[in-house]
Amino acid sequence: MGVFFRNVHTLKGVSGNLSINVIYNTASQIVSLLRANDLEGAKALFPSLEEEYGAVSKAIGLAAEADRR
């Protein structure tokens, strides 16, 4: 759980600093569940976090590509 917690907590901090609220909110929920020792609950939310991260990454990529034109 240590690496999982550290990575999600880091993602929570970075997304919060960048105001990427969709990721921040889910990461916050996962961190709270991990702090409460609810690993199963945290794992259940992880696919949502992956999907949100993918959508944001894609949007950033599209914006960067448009900027290069």
Quickly list DSSP for the chain: -HHHHHHHHHHHHHHHHTT-HHHHHHHHHHHHHHHTT-HHHHHHHHHHHHHHHHHHHHHHHHHHHHHH-
Q: What's the Cα-to-Cα distance from 1 to each of 8, 38, 59, 65, rounded to whole Å? A: 10, 10, 30, 37
Average pLDDT over residues 34-62: 96
Q: What's the Cα-to-Cα distance from 49 to each of 13, 15, 19, 54, 69, rounded to whole Å? A: 14, 12, 15, 8, 31
Banded pLDDT at 61 (limits 50, 70, 90): very high
Q: What is the pLDDT of residues 3-43, one digit of tens each?
A: 999 999 999 999 999 999 999 999 999 999 999 999 999 99
